[in-house]
């Protein structure tokens, strides 16, 4: 099967999506923005062994490749509109392609977005997705808007679960079968918090999605906003699996696990009710975990308010953990 047959069989679909005037099949896709909107763009590249293991089901990989990109749109409060896919494959593997496309399109359909273009080539497995989203002018939630006195929140209860699964694969941790299935789902099928991001528009002062670990990614908000924070390490939401781990593991995984795709965000203390309504409207739990302060840097405390040492390192793609 050649390149064009492959695209036609697995990636080209009929049907019009609003705002997409020309999709796959021309030199470029042609998109029409709404009136008074800005376009948001994000691009993520997934490499075997770094972002996924060779053991992953193709459908889960297709889901995850799109999910991690949608998570960036979610962090900005954007409505997803379209995406491109560039794919390098060692060979044409029909089982892989069928599964990958199924998982990717299931998530795309859930968000009403279209694959509008891209590229396929032969090479070491590599998946590069670029997503496009839209916000009304000036309403994107940025990393730079946190202010002293703001509350600090995190979404969901999966923080640290993906890292638990990774440690099982690495052989440094062992979990009963059901617990492993649960954390493996968190690692392989992350749910981008798009609905929460949309609901937080006009409420959150800043946000970021957690891909390299909560403490490290929060650091980006603090630096871009020129503020600091105190974070209660024991207030982090935990899955039942993580809650069953020793306290040191709980803190380490929650604060520096990585691959979480929850949203960390800030909002004024006066907006606590609005945050709760946004959480309910998007059927996503949110947990208050700390406070933004004028003093730069991140300070960790335990449930009793005692300072904890900060010796966590977030995931860096050019360092081997």
Annotated binding site for ATP: 118-119, 143, 211
What residues numbered 105-124 form the site for its own copies, per CB under 8 A? 116-124
Q: Is 31 in the site for its own copies (CB under 8 A)?
A: yes
Q: Is 21 in the site for its own copies (CB under 8 A)?
A: yes
In the block, residue with structure tokens 């979480």:
260
Q: Is 7 in the site for its own copies (CB under 8 A)?
A: no
What residues numbered 189-208 form the site for its own copies, per CB under 8 A? 207-208
CA-to-CA distance for 213 and 319, rounded, in angstroms?
14
Q: Is 9 in the site for its own copies (CB under 8 A)?
A: no
| C-beta closer to its own copies: residue 27 or 273 | 27
Q: Choose the binding region for its own copies from 25-33, 183-191, 238-246, 275-283 (rule: CB under 8 A).
A: 25-33
Q: Is 162 in the site for its own copies (CB under 8 A)?
A: no
Q: Is 142 in the site for its own copies (CB under 8 A)?
A: yes
| Alpha helices (H) in 149-301, listed in sequence order | 161-170, 177-188, 194-199, 214-225, 240-243, 247-256, 272-281
Question: Based on the number of CB atoms within 10 Å of its own CB, is 10 exposed (0-12), middle (13-18) or buried (19 or more)?
Answer: buried
Q: Is 155 in the site for its own copies (CB under 8 A)?
A: no
Nearest approach, Cβ of residue 113 and its own copies (Å): 13
Compute CA distances 160 → 116, 245, 255, 257, whole Å.
34, 11, 7, 5
Q: Choose the binding region for its own copies from 99-107, 128-136, 225-233, 236-244 (rule: CB under 8 A).
A: 128-136
Q: Is 88 in the site for its own copies (CB under 8 A)?
A: yes
| C-beta closer to its own copies: residue 25 or 176 | 25
Residue 51: closest CA among 124, 140, 127, 154: 127
Q: Is 82 in the site for its own copies (CB under 8 A)?
A: yes
Tell me if 133 sits within 8 A of 197, measured CB to CB: no
Q: Is 146 in the site for its own copies (CB under 8 A)?
A: no
Phi (first) and psi of residue 117, to 5 degrees: 170, -175
Compute CA distances 15 → 8, 85, 93, 154, 318, whole Å.
14, 18, 26, 37, 41
DSSP 270: G
Number of residues that bind its own copies (CB under 8 A): 71
What residues numbered 270-299 form the site for its own copies, per CB under 8 A? none
Among 27, 178, 248, 273, binds its own copies (CB under 8 A): 27
CA-to-CA distance for 94 and 6, rounded, in angstroms?
9
Q: Is 181 in the site for its own copies (CB under 8 A)?
A: no
Handedness of CA 88, 47, 211, 143 (dihedral sign): negative
| C-beta closer to its own copies: residue 32 or 174 | 32
């Amino acid at each position: 099967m050649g390149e064009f047959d492959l695209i036609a069989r697995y990636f080209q679909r009929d049907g019009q999506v609003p705002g997409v005037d020309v999709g796959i099949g021309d030199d470029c896709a042609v998109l029409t923005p709404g009136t008074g909107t800005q376009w948001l763009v994000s691009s993520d590249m997934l490499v075997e062994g770094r972002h996924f293991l060779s053991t992953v089901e193709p459908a889960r990989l297709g889901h995850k490749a799109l999910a991690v990109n949608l998570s960036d749109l979610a962090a900005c409060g954007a409505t997803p509109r379209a995406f491109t896919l560039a794919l390098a494959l060692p060979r044409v593997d029909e089982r892989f392609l069928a599964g990958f496309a199924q998982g990717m399109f299931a998530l795309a359909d859930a968000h009403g977005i279209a694959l509008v273009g891209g590229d396929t080539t032969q090479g070491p497995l590599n998946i590069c997705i670029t997503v496009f989203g839209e916000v009304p002018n000036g309403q994107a939630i940025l990393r730079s808007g946190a202010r002293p006195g703001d509350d600090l929140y995190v979404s969901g209860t999966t923080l640290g679960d993906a890292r638990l699964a990774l440690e099982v694969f690495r052989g440094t941790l062992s979990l009963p079968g059901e617990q492993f299935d649960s954390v493996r789902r968190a690692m392989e099928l992350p749910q981008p918090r798009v609905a929460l991001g949309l609901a937080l528009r006009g409420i959150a002062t800043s946000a970021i999605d957690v891909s390299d670990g909560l403490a490290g990614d929060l650091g980006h908000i603090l630096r871009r906003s020129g503020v600091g924070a105190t974070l209660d390490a024991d207030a982090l939401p935990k899955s039942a699996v993580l809650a069953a781990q020793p306290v040191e593991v709980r803190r380490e995984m929650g604060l520096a696990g990585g691959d979480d795709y929850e949203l960390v965000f800030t909002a004024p203390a006066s907006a606590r009710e609005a945050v709760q309504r946004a959480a309910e409207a998007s059927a996503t739990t949110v947990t208050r975990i700390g406070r933004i302060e004028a003093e730069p840097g991140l300070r960790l405390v335990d449930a009793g308010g005692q300072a904890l040492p900060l010796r966590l390192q977030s995931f860096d793609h050019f360092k081997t953990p």
